[in-house]
Structure 1
Amino acid sequence: MSATDSAAKAQDNDSGMAAKDPAKRRRALLIVTAVFILAAVTWVLLWLFVFSRRETTDNAYVGGNQVAISAQVPGTVVAILADDTQRVEAGQVLVKLDSTDADVRLHQVSGALAQAVRQVRQQTESATSADAQVAKARVDLKKAQADLARRQPLIAEQAEAPETVQHLRDSVDQAQASLDAALAEAAASHAAIEGTQIANNPAVEQARANFRAAWIAAQRNAIFAPVTGYVAQRSVQLGHSVQPGEQLMTVVPLHDLWVDANFKENQLRHIRVGQPATLEADIYGSGVQYHGKVIGLGAGTGSVFSLLPAQNATGNWIKVIQRVPVRIALDDKELDQHPLRVGLSTTVSVDITDDSGPKNAPVGNGKPIATTDVYEQMASKADEEAEKIIRANLSQRSAN
C-alpha cells in the first residue's frame, strides 16, 4: 500500500468517528436527563404520598414511672431482700427494719384494747344493776304508798295514832328519794354506754384506733414494693438508720412505658392527639417496630422547664429552634415481646395524614393513672387483728 492510500484511509476513519461522537453524546445526555427526571418525579411522589404525611425525629427516648421506695417509720435496717436488676412483685418485702420498739408498743396497745372492752363490759353490767335498783325502788315506793293509803282513813276514826301515819308518810318520802337516787345513778351508768354496743363504744373505738396505728407502724418495719417492676438505684445498706421519706431504692415497672419524642416547633403544625406512630429502638434496630399513638403534647418547650431557662431578653440574641415533647403510648403486648428500658433512644415517625384531631389532650376521666392496694391490705389486716382482740374479751352473752 502506498503512502497516499494510507493517508486517505486514516482521513476516512477520523471523519467517521467524528460523525458518531455527537450521536453517542446525545444518547448519553438523554439517559442522564431521563435519570434525573425520574429521580425528581420519584422524589416528588415520595414527598406527596410519604414524607409530607409523616413527621420523623430521632430525638426520642423511652420514659416510664420510677417508683421511689422509702421508709414510713424510722428504724435500723436489718435485712435487704432485693438488689439492682432484680424483678420484684407488688407486696414483696424489700427491706426490713428493727421492730423491737414497735413490738413493745403493739403489746401495750393490745392490752389497752382488751382492758377497754372489759371496762365497757363492766359499765354495761353496772347499768344493768342500776336498772335493777330502780325497779326495786319503785316497788318500795308503791309498798310505802299502799301502807299510807291503808292507814290514813283510820286517823279520822282515831283508830290509828298520828305518829304512825307520820312514819308512813316519811317512809313514802324516803322511798321516793331512793327512787330518785336510783334513777340518777342509772342515768349516769347509761350515759357511758347508751346508744352503742360494746364493740363500737367510744372508749373501745379509741383503743381500737390506737391498736390499729401501732399495728400498722409495726408492719411498716417491713418495706413493701407497691408495684411490680425491676429494682434500680439501691442505696440502702445494712445497719443504715433510715428516716421516713428517705429514698432507699427505686422500682421501675417495665410494662407501662411511653416515648417522649422531641419534635421541632415547625414539625408540630399537623401533629394531633390520637395519630398513629411507628417507632424503632436502637437496641433492636430496624428489624423490630413498635406501634403507638400520640396521647398528648407538652405544655412547653424543654428550655422553659430546664433548671436554668434561657433569658432571651438579655445580651445578644441568636434564634434557636425549640423542641416540644410529644408523648407516644406504646403497645404493652409489643413491650412484652421486646422489652425496653427507660432512657433508651428511639426513632419516631408520626402519621399526620389525618390532622382533624384535637391539638391538646382532653380532660382526664378522673380515673387514677396508677394504683396499689398494698397499703390498703395492711389496714384491713389491722382491723381484723383488732376484731380478734375485741371478740376474745367479750362475754359470751355480749357476743351473742
Structure 2
Amino acid sequence: MTAPETNTAAGSDPQRNPARRRALTAVAATVAVAGIAYGAYWALVLNHFESTDNAYVQGNVVQLTPQVGGTVVAINADDTDHVKAGQVLVKLDPADAQIALDQAEAQLAQTVREVRTLYANNSTLKAQIALREADLARAQSEVLRAQDDVARRSPLVATGAVGKEEFNHVTSALAASKSGVAAAQSAVIAAREQLTSNQTLTDGIKVDQHPNVLRAAARVREAYLAMKRADLLAPVDGYVAKRSVQLGQRVQAGAPLMSVIALEHVWVEANFKESQLKNLRLGQPVTLEADVYGRHVDYHGVIEGMGAGTGAAFALLPAQNATGNWIKVVQRVPVRISLDPKELVDHPLRVGLSMDVKVDVSKTDGRMLADAARTSAVAQTKVFDQNNSAADEEVRKIINANGGQVGRTDVAARAHGAVPAGAFAISSGAASVAASSAASLATLAAGNASPAVRLK
C-alpha cells in the first residue's frame, strides 16, 4: 500500500477521526435528550389530553311550517335576516278563515240565546204546572158540587118535586165534571213531564257550561285560531336561512318554508375515536379553536354528553360486516360539548363550522353517561299562547253580548276543564224574564184556584 492510500483509509475511519466522532456523539446526545424531553412532555402534558379535529358546530335549525293551508300573500323576512320570537315572517290569505270565523261566531250567539230560552222555560213551566193544578182543583170542586146536586134531587124525582128532565140535566153535569177532572189530570201530568224534560237539559249547569254552548264555543276557538294562524310567527330569536317560500305559492300545513337558527344556542359535536373514549367523562373542561378565527380565539366548554352509539350504527346504510372480505375501521362516537355563551357573543359561530377540540382528561372520576332525567324543557316557545288567550277572550265577548254572563278568566278555565260545574251565573236577562213569567202565571193560578186548592 502506498502512502496516500494509507492516509485516505485513516481519514475515513471514525475511530481514528476525533472531530467526526465528537459530531456523531453530539447528534446522538441531542436525539436522546429530545426523546427524553418528548417522553416527559407526553407523560406530564399530552397524556392528560384527548384531541380531535373531527368536530363541527351544531345548533337547532327551527323550521317554519304553517299550521293551516293557504296562499302566501306576504313574506317579511329573507335569508340572513335577524328575527325576533313572535315576529310575523309569512302571511297567508285569511279570507276563507275569516268567513269560517264569522259563521262560528253567529252559531255561538244563536246557541247562547237558545240555551237561555231553556232556562227561562223552567220557571214558565213550573207556573204552568201550578195553573194546571188549579184547573184540576176547580174541576174537582165542580164534581163535588155536581154530586151534591144529584144527591139532593135524586129522592125528589119519585115524589114529582123534581122533573125527570131536570134530574137528567144534573146527572149530565156530573158526568161532564168528571170528564173535566180527567182532562185536568192529564194536563197536569203533561206539564210535569214537559218540565222534567226541560230540566234534564239544564239541571246542574249554567248557560256558558251547557254542552251546546261549549260545542259552539269550541268551534269559535278553532275558527279563530285558524284565522290567526294565517300569520306565521317566528318561534325563536335567530337568523333566517334556506327560505324556499314564494309569493302566491299555495302551501299545505306542515310544509317547510324557511329555517330560523338561534346562533346564541349552539354546541359542538366532536367525533372521537373509540380508543379515546376510555378517559372521557361528563363535565371535563374542553378548549376549542374554530378554523374561521384560527389560533387567535379560544373557546371554552365542557363535555355535556356522549352518544349512545357510533356514527356508523345510525347511518342510512349500516355497514355489513358479515362478508368474506372484512377490513376493520376505527369507529367514532359523537360527544356533545357545550360552549360558553359569553364567548359566543364576542365571536359568534355558524352551524357546520369546523372545530379543533382538546379535552383535559386529567380527572376521570366523573360519569361517562348521564344517569338523571332532565327537569326542564330542552327548548320552549310561548309565542303561540297569545292566540289561545285571544280566542278565549273572543268567546267570552260573544257569550256576554248574548246574555250568558261569564268572567274573563272563567271561559279560559272552562275551556281547559279547570272550573267545576255550577260555578258561573245565569244571564240576568234570562233570570228576570223567567221570574216575571212565573210570577204572572202564579198570580193567575192563585186567582182561579178554589179554597180546596189553597188548602191542598
Pairwise TM-score range, normalised by the shorter structure: 0.7 to 0.9
Q: Secondary structure at the match of 2:313?
A: coil
Instruction: Report Cα offsets for 1:42-62 as digits up to 9, x if no partner.
Output: 322221221111100011000
**Is 1:224 the equivalent of 2:219?**
no
- What is the percent sequence identity of the aligned residues? 48
Q: Of the candidates 32, 41, 45, which is equivalent to residue 40 of structure 2?
A: 45
CA 395–242 in structure 1, closer or farther in 2 if over 3 Å, else same: closer
Q: Which moved more, 1:317-326 or 1:360-369?
A: 360-369
**Is 1:109 the equivalent of 2:118?**
no
1:169 deviates by 4.5
Q: Secondary structure at the match of 2:240?
A: strand
Q: Which aligned pairs between 1:14-25 and structure 2 lie closer than 5 A?
A: 22=18
In structure 1, how many angstroms separate the alpha carbons of the residues matched to 2:27 and 2:129? 122
Residue 270 of structure 1 corresponds to which residue in structure 2? 279
Q: Which aligned pairs between 1:186-205 and structure 2 lie closer than 5 A?
A: 186-205=195-214
The answer to whether the Cα contact below 8 Å between 2:263 and 2:350 also exists between their aligned partners in 1 is yes
1:235 deviates by 0.5
The answer to whether the Cα contact below 8 Å between 2:91 and 2:232 also exists between their aligned partners in 1 is yes
In structure 2, how many angstroms separate the alpha carbons of the residues matched to 1:181 and 1:383? 41
CA 351–158 in structure 1, closer or farther in 2 if over 3 Å, else same: farther
1:147 deviates by 6.3
1:35 deviates by 4.0
Q: Of the candidates 341, 355, 362, which is equivalent to residue 353 of structure 1?
A: 362
**Is 1:129 the equivalent of 2:138?**
no
Where does structure 2 lack aligned partners over 5 or more consecutive residues?
A: 1-16, 155-166, 406-424, 429-456
1:152 deviates by 6.4
Q: Which moved more, 1:104-113 or 1:155-164?
A: 155-164
CA 298–395 in structure 1, closer or farther in 2 if over 3 Å, else same: closer
**Is 1:74 the equivalent of 2:69?**
yes
1:37 deviates by 4.3
Instruction: Report Cα offsets for 1:262-295 as digits up to 9, x if no partner.
Output: 1111111111222221111112222222221112
1:146 deviates by 5.8
Aligned residues: 379
Q: Which aligned pairs between 1:134-283 and structure 2 lie closer than 5 A?
A: 134-145=129-140, 168-283=177-292
CA RMSD of aligned residues (A): 2.7
Residue 332 of structure 1 corresponds to which residue in structure 2? 341
Q: Secondary structure at the match of 1:255?
A: strand
Q: Which moved more, 1:125-134 or 1:244-253?
A: 125-134
In structure 2, how many angstroms separate the alpha carbons of the residues matched to 1:48 and 1:341? 36
More helix by share: 2
1:100 deviates by 1.3
1:335 deviates by 1.5
CA 235–206 in structure 1, closer or farther in 2 if over 3 Å, else same: same
The residue identity in structure 2 corresponding to 1:46 is Y
In structure 2, how many angstroms separate the alpha carbons of the residues matched to 1:395 and 1:41? 91
Residue 436 of structure 2 corresponds to which residue in structure 1? none
In structure 1, how many angstroms separate the alpha carbons of the residues matched to 2:343 and 2:68? 40
1:129 deviates by 1.3
The residue identity in structure 2 corresponding to 1:392 is A
In structure 2, how many angstroms separate the alpha carbons of the residues matched to 1:390 and 1:165? 55
CA 171–235 in structure 1, closer or farther in 2 if over 3 Å, else same: same
Residue 84 of structure 1 corresponds to which residue in structure 2? 79
